[in-house]
Amino acid sequence: MRVALVGTGVQSIPPVGYGGVERTIAEFAKALRVAGHDPVVLNRVRHGRSLDEYLFALSVPGMVRAAGVDVVHASTPVVANRLALAGIPFVYTTHSRHWFERTGGRQRFGFWLERRAVRRAAATVALTPALRDVVARTVPAAMGALSVIPIGVDTDAFRPDLAARTGRVALGVGVVRPMKRWELAAQAAHEAGWTFRLVGPTPDPAYADRLRTIGPSVELLGEVMDDELRREYARADVLLHPSRVELLAGAVLQGLSAGLPVLGAAPIASLVEDGKTGWTAPAGASDAEIGRFLAVRLRELVEPTLRTRLSEEARRVASSRFSWPAVVAAHERVYETVRSGRPRR
């Protein structure tokens, strides 16, 4: 099957640095190719500005028609709405946190675009059951064409290096902004006697400085190359992810694949099995309660036998639930339905 995977027009695919959607598209294309399909990545980067997505979207219908594909898969609402305007059927994967949180006119406009994209899609992929439920409530007409399919993780690339683990290194991966609540992770690690290593871009210098003041055990590494990122996962002992809002945290999937017990908050509860692959704080917990929760669990995970048991189960779950072959197989079923023009169920 020849599948067009449409990018954002903002960053290259794969991205040079940080870029979750672009990285997912690149890895998905590789997995489709391994499965015997013919993926075509459509993307054209101008200046790396958010505005460029709108300019790129204008050219997408022509690029799709020239590519001669069986299925078109969009991952941003701007591109999806442009495809709809051109009368081109498409599969849409929604990634937006606007389904759960909206502040200000710009985010409300983004939410309007999301709803419009889902309403016009031939099929919509939601990353988690929680996202599927809120999409179905908000856009009831889309309910029959909704599927839950997570993003995948390369379980060969993200693996544990048991010999390099010390038992006291907690890792965080993601953009260094207050919505991620890294201060809770850093403070909990400091109190429990762990080193906290945080990987990700730092667009908010004041917030980054605030994290550094928590103590010398807090290390901000900034953006790193892919090889170094994999090494950080392989050498760490625990992944901390207390983010306030998440759809499907790729960092958590990578952590599970690397055999890391995961500690976090309610937004990642669907990815973590309490007592088996880690723990998440109860829904509705305050920041102070989440911080205490993380510190208590870190003290427990000093015990090697517990840490090993959770590590092995995390690796097993990543392979069975989130490996790319499983994700591709789920998409194949959606693609066949759209390609054949069968009615929505």
- 162-321: CATH superfamily: Glycogen Phosphorylase B; (3.40.50.2000)
Task: Pick out the chain residues at pLDDT < 70.
Answer: 17-19, 342-345
Q: Where in the chain is the domain with CATH 3.40.50.2000?
A: 2-152+323-340, 162-321
**Backbone Cα Rg of the chain:** 20
pLDDT value, residue 226: 87
pLDDT value, residue 344: 47
pLDDT value, residue 17: 60
pLDDT value, residue 51: 84
Question: Can you list the positions of beta strands (E) in the chain?
Answer: 2-6, 38-42, 71-74, 91-94, 123-126, 146-148, 169-173, 195-199, 218-222, 238-241, 262-264, 278-280
Q: In terms of Cα–Cα distance, which of 99, 94, 131, 123 is closest to 270?
A: 131
3-state secondary structure of 141: helix
pTM of the predicted structure, to 2 decimals = 0.81
| Beta carbons within 8 Å of 241's beta carbon, 6+ residues apart | 172, 173, 174, 185, 249, 251, 252, 255, 262, 263, 264, 265, 268
pLDDT value, residue 148: 93
| Beta carbons within 8 Å of 213's beta carbon, 6+ residues apart | none
pLDDT value, residue 345: 44
How many residues comprise the chain? 345
DSSP 258-301: TT--EEE-GGGTTT--BTTTEEEPPTT--HHHHHHHHHHHHHHT
- What CATH architecture applies to the domain 2-152+323-340? 3-Layer(aba) Sandwich (3.40)
* Dist. CA 260–CA 313, nearest whole Å: 9
pLDDT value, residue 18: 58
pLDDT value, residue 342: 55
* Dist. CA 15–CA 33, nearest whole Å: 19
pLDDT value, residue 97: 83
Starting at the edge strand that comes first in sequence, how are the strands of the sheet with 238-241 ordered? 218-222, 195-199, 169-173, 238-241, 262-264, 278-280
